[in-house]
Structure 1
Amino acid sequence: MAMAIALTPREQVAGHFGKAAVFVIYDQQGLQVTRIENTGSRELGCKHKKVIQRQLAECGVSEIVLGNIGQRSLARLLHAGFNVSRVAPRTTLADVLSGSVAKEALTSAEQGRDCKREKGACGCGCGSKKKAPVVKVGMSSLLPVSGLTKIGGFKL
């Protein structure tokens, strides 16, 4: 059981999960195990957040401490079995490790921030449902259409 803390370059708790510069992982004794650089922190979309989630899982992380997180990312982390806690953004790393700061357990997606973009507008397709393919005349996969009498003005 390891704990990951989302940090800024100044070793403060990052204000947002996806924009954290680094995730520092500590074991149960409070010893630093590793650091995961967030190379996609300036990217739009969710792909880099999914990569971070996978890396955290591979390191055996069970708890994530952060400043804020969006609803969809929070839902994804909770569904994957992570315990997510929120502290005030810019809290120092030393305060988190010493336990002198209160952690708020995030247990449902509604506790995350609302998405500032419309569903799927981040470009990755998250939150958007796949649209049915457009049916075109002449497609070989079309099923016979009953009751069709005209196509483009031509009688059948």
Structure 2
Amino acid sequence: MFFSSSFYNPNISHHDMRILQSLALKKRETLQYQQRSYEAQKLWEEDRKSLERKQEEKRKEWKSYVEKKRKRENNMNTMRMEEVKQNLRQAQSLLEARLTERDKRIEEMIQQTEGKKVSIEHDQLVNPIGNLTRVIMLTFLHRIGHAMVNLCQ
């Protein structure tokens, strides 16, 4: 019983006293329920905030991870690009050197060809009989060389 007999007032009927006790019990239960509800709400709020903090922390970690990964990838791409550029420069230098060498050989061949033409034309103009003699001598030496080879066999 909520009210003890020491608080018993003779002017209040027994039935009214039971109603008051019932109301007091109901009020106490309501207050206890509200207290438990408040504590449950408080725990729920703490859990929610904790979860939000963890999610925010994970989001920051993920963002940091992605940024670091992008930076690494950018650095790798930059290094690869520099390597490709260096290889291209080397290939261009090698190509230029080979083209220069080829042009030089062509020029030398042209010079030699021009020189031979001039020399042959000059010899033919200056000494037409000498050229004929030279051709005959070369033919003769060539035939003798073949004959000697045939004899040795």
Which structure: greater helix fraction? 2
- Normalised by the length of structure 2, the TM-score is 0.15
Larger radius of gyration: 2
- Normalised by the length of structure 1, the TM-score is 0.15
Q: Bigger relative contact order, structure 1 or 2, given CA contacts below 8 A and separation 6+? A: 1
